[in-house]
Amino acid sequence: MPLSNLNQEQLAAASASAGHNLIIASAGTGKTSTIVARIGYLLNSGIKPERILLLTFTNKAATEMMERLNKKFPKSITNKVLAGTFHAISYKLLKSMNKNIILKQPSELKTLLKSLVNARQFHHLSELSAYGGAYLYDIFSLFTNSALDISFKEWFSQKNQDQAVFADIYEDILREFESEKARFGYVDFNDLLLKMRTELKNENAPSFDEILVDEYQDTNSLQSSLIDAFNSKSLFCVGDFDQSIYAFNGANIEIIGSFKHRYKDAKIYTLNTNYRSSAKILKLANRVISINPRLYEKELKVSRIGEFKSPQLLVYNELISQYKGIAQIIKDSKYDKSDIAVIFRNNSSADGIEIALKELGISSKRRGSGSFFDSLEIKALICLLALSLNGRDIMSFIEIFSYAKGIGEAKAKQIFDLLSQLGDGDMRLGLLCPNQNASLTHKRRKNYELGLFDDMLDYQNATNIDESAFNANFKGHQILNYLNQNGANFLNDLYCLLASLKNTTNTQNAINTAINSRIYANIAQFLAHKKALRKNFTLNEEAKQQAYENIITRAKSLALISNTYKELASFYNFLVLGKSELNSGNGVNLLSVHSSKGLEFGQVFVIDLANTRFPNLRLMAQGGSLEEERRLFYVAVTRAKDELYLSYAKYDKNGKTSFEASQFIQEAGFVIE
C-alpha cells in the first residue's frame, strides 16, 4: 500500500519499527487511514497476513478498515488478516481450537442466575432487599471487566457499602453460577475474553507478529490483560486520551496513560494535523481540553484553509425558546439536513428540539433513544386527545385501556363496541350521551372446530359496582353491567375527562385539562411505578416520584409547543400526519455525545450547556468526574467541520428552574453577561 498520501506524522507512525507503539490520534487526524496504512506497510514488509491481528470496538470499524485495505491488496491476502472486535476474535480463535463452548446472550444467563438467587434466603441477614439475579449479573459483569487483582467480595463491599452485608452470599451464588455455566459449556462475552486469556498460556496458542488496537483509550482492564496475554513483540495501539468517555462502562483511562511506563521500549507518535474542523473550532476545542491533565503532549493544528464562521454562543431566556430558536436556524440553514447535528449530554434535551423541528416540518432522526412522540406517556396523552375528537378511534381506545387493570385488548374492543352501539356508532356519544332505547347485544362467538369461546365480557349486575365516587351523570350507565370494579373506575375517569373536553376546542386548554385529569394521573403513576422498579423488583419510592414529575414535565412540553395551533383538531393533525416521515430516514441528526463519537457534520449545535446539565452534576456525584465531562464536551465540539453553535437557556418554565451557563462556555472563551 503506497504511503505517499500520508502526512509526515501519519507516515512516521505507519512505518514505525516493530515494538510497542502508541499513536495519539486526536479528533479528525486520520486515525483510520493510519491504521490501514500500517497494515499495508506490514504486508509490504513481508509479514504474512495471517500473522496480523486487528482489534476494534465495533464490527463496523473493522469492516470499514478492511474495505479500504481491499482497494490496495487482493482479497486473497486481506481475507487472511484477522480483524474484528475483542469478543468476535476470541470466539473465532476458541472455536478454531475446538473448544467446547456455547455462547449465550446475557438475557439467557440472567435467567439461570435468577434461579440460583431465588433459591437462597436473605431476609435473616438484613431488612434491606437483596439484589435480584438480573442486577447481580450486571454488577458481576462490571467487576469482571474492571477488577483483576481483587476478590468480588472485596470489590463489591467497596462499591456497594449498603449491600455489603450480602457480599458473602452473593459471592457464593456467583461461584455456583460459574460452576453451572461450566457444566453446560455456557459462556457470555466476558467469558470469551477470560477463556481466550487462559488458552494463550498454552504452548500451541495462536500468536501474531503484530497486534493493532483501535480506540485504545476505551479498553478496560480485562481487554488490556488479553492484549498482554497474546505476548506479541509488536503492538500498534491507536487512541486519544482526550476522547476517553466510557468510564461508566468499565473503560480505564490509566491504560493508555501508563503505556510508556508499562512497556520499556514504548514509542509515542502523535497525529496533530486535523482534517475535519476549521481553525476557529479547533482553537475552541484545544482551549477547553487543555485544562485537563495532559497524559501526553500534543497540539492540534488545522489543515483546512479558507474563511469560516467563528463558533457562536446562543443564549435564550427560556428552554423552549432555545429549541425553537435553533430549529429556526436549522430551517434557514444552507446545509443539507443530514449534515446537521444537534448534540446533547442528556437524552431529555432531545425532546424539545425534536418537537420544535417537527413544528417547522423538519425531519429528524434520533440515535440512542426513541422519539419523543413514541414515548408511552406522550402516546397516552395523544390517544386521550384523539378520543375527545373522534369517537370512532378504536385504536386509541384500546391503547388507553391497556392501562386499565384486568382489561386486555380483546375486552377493550368489546367495551368499545358496546359503547358504539349506545352512540349510534360513536363511542364518545355512547359514553357521554347514551341512547337509552338502544339494545346492547354482545354475541358469543364459538370456534366449533376447537370447541372454544372467544374471550368475552360477561353480563354482570351493576348493583355489584360501588358507584359512590362516580360522576353523577355516569351512575347507572348501561355499560356498567359489563364491567368489574376496576374497569368501571377507569371508565368513569375517562368519562370525566371527555365530559370536560366536550366543548373545548382550544389546544392548550384541552392538553392542560388532559394532563390534570385523574385518568392521566393514574397512567403517569403506572408508568412511573414501572420505571422505578429495581432489577430485584423492589420499588424505589424516590425514583418513582422523580419519574412521575418527569412524565408530567414531558407532557407539559407538548402543551407549550402547541400555542401556534389554536384549534385542537389542527394540532392533532400536525402530530399525526407525516409522523413516520418526520422521524425516520434522512433528516437532522439528534445525538447524545456518546452516540456522536466517530461522526462528523458540517453544522453542529451543542445544546443545553447549563451547569447541572452539561457538565452533568448528578452523574458526577455518582462516580463521574469533571475531567470526563470536559472530554465529553471536547468530543461534541470536534464533530463540527464548518459551523459550531453552543447554546443554553436561563430558565425552564416547566420545571420552574433557573440555570447558570456551563463553565465550559467560559472555558471556551465566551464572556457571560
pLDDT band (50, 70, 90) for residue 117:
confident
Cα dihedral across residues 87, 93, 96, 102: positive or negative: negative
Residue 534 has pLDDT above 80, yes or no: no
Residue 567 has pLDDT above 80, yes or no: yes
pLDDT (tens digit per residue) in 270-304: 999 989 999 999 999 999 999 998 888 887 788 88
The pLDDT, as a whole number, for residue 368 is: 62
Measured CA to CA, the distance from residue 62 to residue 32 in angstroms comes to 10
Residue 452 has pLDDT above 50, yes or no: no
Residue 126 has pLDDT above 90, yes or no: no
Instruction: Return the closest-CA partner of residue 137 out of 87, 91, 173, 84.
Output: 173
Q: State what percent of residues in the chain have pLDDT above 70.
A: 92
pLDDT (tens digit per residue) in 60-88: 889 899 999 999 899 999 999 999 999 88
Measured CA to CA, the distance from residue 465 to residue 423 in angstroms comes to 23
Measured CA to CA, the distance from residue 325 to residue 264 in angstroms comes to 55
Higher per-residue pLDDT: 36 or 656: 36
Q: Which of 88-102, 457-471, 547-561 has the highest mean pLDDT?
A: 88-102
What is each CA distance from 603 to 31, 595, 633, in whole angstroms? 22, 16, 16
The pLDDT, as a whole number, for residue 447 is: 42
Higher per-residue pLDDT: 304 or 404: 404
Of 456-460, 595-599, 626-630, 663-667, the range with the lowest mean pLDDT is 456-460
The pLDDT, as a whole number, for residue 451 is: 38
Measured CA to CA, the distance from residue 328 to residue 322 in angstroms comes to 10
Region of 41 on the Ramachandran plot (φ > 0 left; ψ -120 to 50 alpha; else beta): alpha
Higher per-residue pLDDT: 239 or 158: 239
pLDDT band (50, 70, 90) for residue 648:
very high
The pLDDT, as a whole number, for residue 79 is: 92
Q: Which of 369-378, 442-451, 502-511, 569-578 has the highest mean pLDDT?
A: 502-511
Instruction: Return the closest-CA partner of residue 99 out of 231, 197, 216, 211.
Output: 197
Residue 444 has pLDDT above 70, yes or no: no
Region of 476 on the Ramachandran plot (φ > 0 left; ψ -120 to 50 alpha; else beta): left
pLDDT band (50, 70, 90) for residue 578:
very low
Question: What single-letter DSSP state applies at residue 338?
Answer: G
Residue 183 has pLDDT above 60, yes or no: yes
Q: Cell 395523544 sits at which residue?
A: 382
Instruction: Return the closest-CA partner of residue 508 out of 452, 451, 571.
Output: 571
Mean pLDDT in residue range 393-400: 87
Residue 585 has pLDDT above 60, yes or no: no
Residue 619 has pLDDT above 60, yes or no: yes
At a CB cut-off of 8 Å and minimum separation 6, what does 438 contact?
Answer: 421, 422, 424, 478
22 with 213: CB under 8 angstroms?
no
Measured CA to CA, the distance from residue 613 to residue 497 in angstroms comes to 36
What is each CA distance from 271 to 8, 313, 654, 672, 673, in whole angstroms? 9, 29, 46, 34, 38
Amino acid at 210: E
Residue 466 has pLDDT above 80, yes or no: yes
Of 1-10, 40-49, 626-635, the range with the lowest mean pLDDT is 1-10
Residue 572 has pLDDT above 50, yes or no: yes
Average pLDDT over the chain, rounded to an integer:
86
The pLDDT, as a whole number, for residue 537 is: 63
Instruction: Return the closest-CA partner of residue 327 out of 311, 308, 317, 314.
Output: 314
pLDDT band (50, 70, 90) for residue 219:
very high
Measured CA to CA, the distance from residue 515 to residue 521 in angstroms comes to 7
Measured CA to CA, the distance from residue 157 to residue 166 in angstroms comes to 9
What is each CA distance from 22 to 4, 5, 153, 213, 431, in whole angstroms? 22, 21, 35, 10, 72
Mean pLDDT in residue range 547-567: 80
The pLDDT, as a whole number, for residue 56 is: 93
pLDDT band (50, 70, 90) for residue 370:
low
Of 312-326, 444-458, 654-668, the range with the lowest mean pLDDT is 444-458
Can you tell me whether residue 157 is helix, strand or coil?
helix
SS (H, E, C) 268-285: EEEECEECCCCHHHHHHH
